[in-house]
Each structure stands twice: as C-alpha cells, then as structure tokens.
A and B are shown apart, each in its own frame.
Chain A
C-alpha cells in the first residue's frame, strides 16, 4: 500500500532508479523489482541474504547439542557420550560439543536459534533419499525442483532476478537449486570464477568473439546476449572480488575455506542473495569421536569467523545461515564406536536478526522412532519461516500447504 512507503524508501527508490538508467539490463530489472516490493509495503528487506550450509552424511545431533542431563543418553552411549563436565553448557539440560567455543560465543550474542528434533514424517534412512527429501522439501520424494529453485523461479516471475542472484559453491548443482526456469551458476571455488573470466586479455577475447553487432537471427542473438550477460556478471563479480579480502582467521579445512569464500562473496557481490554450501564427512559409522570432534570444531570456528566478518562489514543483520543435515544418528552407539543413520536432529539458524535461543522440542530419548530421535518439528516449518519472514517468498505456494512458523525472527 502506497501510504506505507516512508520517506526513506522514496529516497532509496529514486536512488535505485538513478542507478537503473546506466546499469546493465539485469541490474536494472532487479532494482525495479525491489522498488515494486517496497511499494507493496513489504517489510522484508530485499537484500536479505540466505546462506545454506549442508552437513552431508548425517550429523550426530546428540553429540553436537548434548543432552548432558539425560541418563538415557549415557545409557545408550557408553563410549561416545560426552561427559557433563566436558560439554559447554548452554542451559540446565543441554551443552555444546566441547570444541564448539566459537558457536557458543555466537549463541551468547543471541545470534543462534537451535531448533531441536527436526525431521519429517516417515523418516528415510538412506543418505540419497533423505538428502533429496530435504533438498526438494517433499517427503514423498517425488519432486522435480528444489526448494530454493522454486523460490528463484517465483522471483523470476516477479521480474526480480540476475545471473548471480544465487550461487552454488560446489562442483555440481545441488538438488535444492534445481529449478524450472532459474539457472544457478555453481563454482567449486571462487578461484574458478577468476579462472572463468581469466586475465584482461582473455576477457577481451571472450567479449570480442561475441561480435560488435547484433545478429540477424533471433536465436543467435539470444545466445550472444546470454553470453554477454554471463560475462558481465562474472566480470563484475570477478572485479568485485578483488576489492576485498576476508580478514578473520579462517581455517584451511572445508568449513574454514567455505565460509571464507562465502564472506568474500557477500562482501563484494551485493546482488547475490542465496549461497549454497555443502561440507561432508559426517557419516561417522566407526571411530566417530575424533572425526566428529574435528568436524564440529571446524564448523564452529568457521561460523564464528564468518559472523565476525559480517559484523565488521555491518552486515550481520543482513545474513541468515541455515544449517541442516539429512538426518541425525542412531541414539545407541554401534559396536565400532560409531553411530548409524538416524532421524530427528537439531537445525541451526544463525544471524544478526535471529532471536537466539532454543526452539522445537528436546529430543525424546525414551520413545524412540526405530531407535532414533523422533521428529517433532517438520523441517518445512523452518523452511517456511525462512522463506516467509526472511526471504520474502511465499511458502504456501512453494510447499503446497501452510506450515506453522517457528518464531525465530
């Protein structure tokens, strides 16, 4: 409604339009769509950013957010249970894995929502299937497109899109980004973006081979335009990447390198709103303790460095990180000092605008679902919350029904 446009919005609107006049077409189109969004009185910032961090393999939720006051936990895990005096306590019942100091300090800053016992009906214990379910947000597993892909398709329909709106930091495209119309570039690393554009000579050749004049054939012209748009976007990204170097101490592990690159992207690519990142190694069937400890430590340190970087850029209120794994692990440890595939597990949403604290229901270690933590919160409730309250999407259209929000924003 027009009466909800504030003076600031108007100033901003005109500024965007001014940019639009000289900007490349895709830049102008997103600016225009942003104005439309504000004109419609939406309260959601059009430049909110979502980072999805996927823990592949099935993270052991119980040894990440440890129910240290629960005797059933100790009974089920004589070898792997973390002792009360080891864990970093966050309340009278739960503590974090001893290596997760960084995560704890974010929690103390009230930037971390821990949502417990997240899952979905009839949990599937196959990595492949369960990952597909999480990525397509459909427990029937019969979905062509990813949940973020659907969001991006909707954005395209509303005219709001650009070639770098979403980026995958992975060699192949995750199912979550699969879309009917939207097409998301994926790069194994930012170095690949640099390599794509190449040095100024290479970039000039890539442009010149497009030719100076428009083609007579509409199809050839479509290819030429798509190429030029891609080159513009990548060149801009490439140039922008040079303008900043992440400053926080990131490790050389997969999380450290991943979050360093995510920080780098956010610092330099204002048009990027969705970044997808996956890290592996969580399938800890045997000798879990050391491996899992290392993983959650790397994760915790990297996330802390990332959020600190965002704070130093004044962007911590613009970013939400959604952390999930395809399932948790079996409550009872196995004979190889490991754990097998489970069901319900905690999810994390981390960001400056997040209302920090504990959500969901604490894991029920008595009434198990085939030996696993039963789910109490449907992951689509979390997705819907993020879509509706953070990204300005429409979860009901995306997921085919309305899910109760989790009150994390």
Chain B
C-alpha cells in the first residue's frame, strides 16, 4: 500500500471517509503523523463553532426550544464539517455502546448534553467515561435510575451497566445486579443549580446558555441512597456507583469485551484471540486509556491486512457522511450562516433542507441518530443491508442531485469530475467518492455519465446535476461502494 492508500484506510476507519481534501492534507503528515493527528485530536482545532442552540431558536420564543431532531441535524452538520473526524467517529461508537434514545428522553437539551458527555470522554479514560455517563441525566432517565431508591431498588441501570456497558452477559449473577442497584440508589438529576426545588426562570436558563453550562445536572440524593454494605463480584463494602464502576472496569471480562467491541467497530468482527489478548493487556496496563487502545489497533498488523481493508460494511453514517464530506456539503452550508452568529442567531432556514435530507436518508437506511433501536444500540455489519435500506442508499443520488436540490453540490462535484471522456469522468467520480471499482463496473458508471449527457455536461453546474444524479445512482448501486 502507498502512503496515500494507508492514509485513506485510516480516514475510512478512524475518520468519516477519505475525501480528496482530507487525503491531500493527511498524506503530507505520513502514516504515523496521521494516526497521531486523528487519535490525539484535542491538540488540534475542530474547525466547528456552531452552537446547537442556533438550531432551536424560534422567532416566537425568546428561549430556544430544542427538539431531539434538531440536535440530530446539528450533529450531522458537525459530522460533515469537523476537522477532528475521529472525535465524531468515537462519539458515534459510544452513542451506540451507551445507547440512549430520544424516543424516551424526549428533551433535546438532555440528548445534546448526553452527546457532549460522550464526546468529552470519547478518547479519554474508560473508567472516567463510565462514571460520567452513569451520572448523565439522559442516561439516568433512560434506564430509570431516577426511580432507583433505597428500599425500592430499580435494577435497570445496574443490569445494563454489567450486561451492555462493561463485562457482557453471563459474567455476573442476579445477586450482583441487585447489590449494584443498591449502590446506584439516590443517583438522580435536577435542573442545574436548583436541586429540584423549582422550575428555573427564563433569565436563569438564558444565563446557563450564555455560560455554556448544561441545563440539567447530576443530583445525589443522600436520603434516597442505600449506604449499607454491598457484595458485588466478590468485593464487599459501602459501595456507591463510582465504586461499582471501578470494580467493573477492573474485571478481566471488561478488558476483553470493550476492546473486542472497539476492534469490531474500527477493524472487523470476531477478532482473533491474539488480537483480543493484546488489546486487553493494553487496556489493563494503561489503566483503561482509550487512546492507548486506539494506537494499539492502528499499529496491529491485522488492521492493515487484506481481511480488514475495504471489507467493513459501511454503516448508514459511514455511507452518508462520507458522501457529504466528499461533496463539501457542510462547508457550503456553513457559508450560508451569518458571519457574526451567536447562540441566539437562528440558523438560516435554507440550511435545514439539506441537513434534514441527510438525517432522513440515514434514518431510512436504518440509523436514526439519537434514536438507537434498543438499549443494545444498533446491529452492525450485514444487519445494515436489506433491499429497502439499499434502495435508500441508491436514492441518496436524488437527495443530492434530484430536482429542486441545491445545484451547489452539483457544481463542486461536476468540477471535480469534469474531463474530456466519460470513462475519465467516471474514474474522477470514483476518486471523489473514494470508490474502488473494477473495470467492468467503472464502465457502467461511464455509461451513466454518457447517458446523462456526457462528460462535457459536468463543467456546467446546470447541466451537471442530471448527469451526476444518474452517474452517482449507478455508483451507489455498485456493491463495492458499500464497504469501507
């Protein structure tokens, strides 16, 4: 593999697709430099400063009213434009792992806060992440821990923290769950600064927004907490939730479960025993340092093997966001935002259409951001594939280039694919979208360019969209295009 090919592989797995602009940028850093830049993203500017509240501003209200779907659109914009692609790829992973759905947590601000909790710790320390998400208001509401009180424990969170978040099913007893539930009693949430005493005034909410503080916060209710001795997995003590998190993170089952799942997300399913051993050791030796695990993944021979490269079924986000980033949709949308925007400047209405189009497309492909289908998150791999979901993927061509759509995307793509022959334009389109097609399939895309009006139509934004719609439809229908 050339450096450029290696960087592309990294961008597909540790990022949000290998757009030409990103490839040009990261290739100069070399493979090691790219790995460092992607994993240690906090050292670099994200290049994204849009506040989620801009999506909730409503002319009729002084206070932004934020719906979960608006948070999903805002996140989509962030996915499209971030210069820290690994941060979002990890946030998506943790959103799937610590799955909370807005179907129950219907409050947009709580869902936003939850995403920020995941994002803050995404490449940090797993124990800190686990402790933070256990105290996140959306998670507490999602798994009913606000009803988990002394004398009347609710085991929902205690069960999932063992079954789904740390050790995996079969590694604990029902008694462990019952005891752990007691440790989490009295863990609830309240309006920030008010301890549940009253509703905040409008001015108090505005103040929190201006200061960038969350509207909800974790609340420990000592009177509802069971302070007695608990026996959990062979440990005994007056444990609280933080202690349980510590016990669970230290379990050997957790070291294998978490690292295998990370490997599955970034490389391939069912890792070999040697891979699991290697990663689990990194997890333990580093004291649960996620960055170290990510480095170990990137530095594994298996990650660079034929079994891995371009063999993973793209998730709806992998597919949709990568296409959007290749076309520069995010940047073109950001250009419509007023230069002096603050968090009370409404996002221009015309920005919603394309973002909604992409959110809807991902939804119809089976991945509705902020609405994972169950506590266990989404099923990956071939579970993404059905005739109806593939239909939606192919239909993305008309979401992007269909009638009434912004021709701006067409102008950029047309310019990138413009050439003197259909086959050359087809190849350029494949490069634009990071597609690797064999000769016969490339030829079909070339035929589509020809049928759409020919390569000469691509240089003119007006005639380009029709050609692009047909050519990308054929390209998106190519089975190879659905692997990254």
Give A residues with C-beta under 8 Å from B.
26, 128-129, 141-145, 163, 171-173, 180, 183-186, 192, 195-196, 198, 201-202, 205-206, 208-211, 215, 217-220, 222-224, 226-227, 229-230, 233-234
List A contacts of B311 (CB < 8 A): 217, 219
| B448 and A202 form a contact (CB under 8 A) | yes
The CA of A129 and the CA of B360, in the complex, are separated in Å by: 19
B110: CB under 8 A from chain A?
no
The CA of A229 and the CA of B388, in the complex, are separated in Å by: 9
| B445 and A209 form a contact (CB under 8 A) | yes
B366: CB under 8 A from chain A?
yes
| B483 and A186 form a contact (CB under 8 A) | no
How close is A122's CB to chain B, nearest CB, in angstroms?
A: 15
B390: CB under 8 A from chain A?
yes
Of the A-B pairs whose beta carbons lie under 8 Å apart in the complex, a sample of 29, sorted by A's number, is: A128-B67, A129-B106, A141-B106, A144-B101, A144-B373, A163-B388, A172-B364, A173-B364, A183-B387, A195-B398, A195-B402, A196-B394, A196-B398, A202-B474, A205-B474, A206-B394, A206-B474, A209-B441, A209-B445, A209-B474, A210-B477, A211-B479, A217-B311, A220-B480, A220-B483, A223-B313, A224-B479, A226-B386, A234-B391
How close is B348's CB to chain A, nearest CB, in angstroms?
A: 21
List B contacts of A185 (CB < 8 A): 388, 391-392
Q: Mark B408-448, 1 if CB is under 8 A from A, else 0.
A: 00000000000000000000000000000000110011011
Q: Which residues of B in the span 362-401 have a Cβ within 8 Å of any Cβ on A? A: 363-364, 366, 373-374, 381-382, 385-392, 394-395, 398
Q: Mark B248-273, 1 if CB is under 8 A from A, else 0.
A: 00000000000000000000000000
Whose C-beta in chain B lies nearest to the C-beta of A202?
B470
List B contacts of A205 (CB < 8 A): 444, 447-448, 451, 474
Whose C-beta in chain B lies nearest to the C-beta of A231?
B477
List B contacts of A215 (CB < 8 A): 479
Please name the 5 residue pairs, one residue from A and one from B, whose CB atoms are nearest each other, closest first: A183-B388, A230-B387, A229-B387, A209-B444, A223-B479
B462: CB under 8 A from chain A?
no
List B contacts of A196 (CB < 8 A): 391, 394-395, 398
| A226 and B389 form a contact (CB under 8 A) | yes
Whose C-beta in chain B lies nearest to the C-beta of A201?
B451
Extra 13 A-B pairs, beta carbons < 8 Å, given A142-B104, A145-B373, A210-B479: A144-B373, A172-B363, A195-B398, A201-B447, A205-B444, A209-B441, A211-B440, A215-B479, A226-B389, A226-B390, A227-B387, A227-B390, A234-B391
List A contacts of B402 (CB < 8 A): 195
| A198 and B313 form a contact (CB under 8 A) | no
The CA of A26 and the CA of B387, in the complex, are separated in Å by: 11
List B contacts of A202 (CB < 8 A): 448, 451, 470, 473-474
Give B residues with C-beta under 8 Å from A.
67, 101, 103-104, 106, 311, 313, 360, 363-364, 366, 373-374, 381-382, 385-392, 394-395, 398, 402, 440-441, 444-445, 447-448, 451, 470, 473-475, 477-480, 482-483
List A contacts of B387 (CB < 8 A): 26, 163, 183, 226-227, 229-230, 233
Whose C-beta in chain A lies nearest to the C-beta of B101?
A144
Q: Which of B313, B391, B482 contacts A230 (CB 8 A)?
A: B391
How close is A263's CB to chain B, nearest CB, in angstroms?
A: 23
Q: Which of B385, B391, B440, B441 contacts A222 (CB 8 A)?
A: B385
The CA of A295 and the CA of B467, in the complex, are separated in Å by: 40
Whose C-beta in chain A lies nearest to the C-beta of B438?
A211
How close is B72's CB to chain A, nearest CB, in angstroms?
A: 12
Determine which residue in B101, B387, B474, B483 has the highest number of CB atoms from chain A within 10 A of its CB, and name it.
B387
Q: Which of B101, B360, B389, B478 contacts A209 (CB 8 A)?
A: B478
List A contacts of B366 (CB < 8 A): 183
Total CB contacts across the A-B interface at under 8 A: 112
| B391 and A208 form a contact (CB under 8 A) | no
| B445 and A219 form a contact (CB under 8 A) | no
List A contacts of B447 (CB < 8 A): 201, 205
Q: Which of B67, B106, B360, B480 contacts A172 (CB 8 A)?
A: B360
Given known contacts A222-B385, A226-B390, is B479 in contact with A144 (CB within 8 Å)? no
Given known contacts A210-B479, A224-B479, is B374 in contact with A144 (CB within 8 Å)? yes
Q: Which of A201, A227, A233 contacts B479 (CB 8 A)?
A: A227
Q: Which of A173, A180, A206, A222 contacts B363 (CB 8 A)?
A: A173
The CA of A129 and the CA of B451, in the complex, are separated in Å by: 47
List A contacts of B104 (CB < 8 A): 142
Determine which residue in B385, B392, B398, B483 has the highest number of CB atoms from chain A within 10 A of its CB, and name it.
B385
List A contacts of B391 (CB < 8 A): 163, 185, 196, 230, 234
The CA of A81 and the CA of B260, in the complex, are separated in Å by: 67
How close is B368's CB to chain A, nearest CB, in angstroms?
A: 8
The CA of A225 and the CA of B190, in the complex, are separated in Å by: 51
Given known contacts A196-B391, A196-B395, A206-B473, is B103 in contact with A220 (CB within 8 Å)? no
Whose C-beta in chain A lies nearest to the C-beta of B390?
A226
The CA of A196 and the CA of B390, in the complex, are separated in Å by: 12
How close is A26's CB to chain B, nearest CB, in angstroms?
A: 8
| A198 and B395 form a contact (CB under 8 A) | no
The CA of A142 and the CA of B141, in the complex, are separated in Å by: 12
How close is A58's CB to chain B, nearest CB, in angstroms?
A: 19
How close is A401's CB to chain B, nearest CB, in angstroms?
A: 20
How close is B390's CB to chain A, nearest CB, in angstroms?
A: 4
Given known contacts A220-B480, A223-B482, is B394 in contact with A230 (CB within 8 Å)? yes
| B477 and A227 form a contact (CB under 8 A) | yes
List A contacts of B360 (CB < 8 A): 171-172
| A184 and B390 form a contact (CB under 8 A) | no
Whose C-beta in chain A lies nearest to the C-beta of B373?
A144
Whose C-beta in chain B lies nearest to the C-beta of A171?
B360
Determine which residue in B311, B391, B395, B473 has the highest number of CB atoms from chain A within 10 A of its CB, and name it.
B391
Whose C-beta in chain A lies nearest to the C-beta of B392?
A185
How close is B423's CB to chain A, nearest CB, in angstroms?
A: 14
How close is B139's CB to chain A, nearest CB, in angstroms?
A: 15
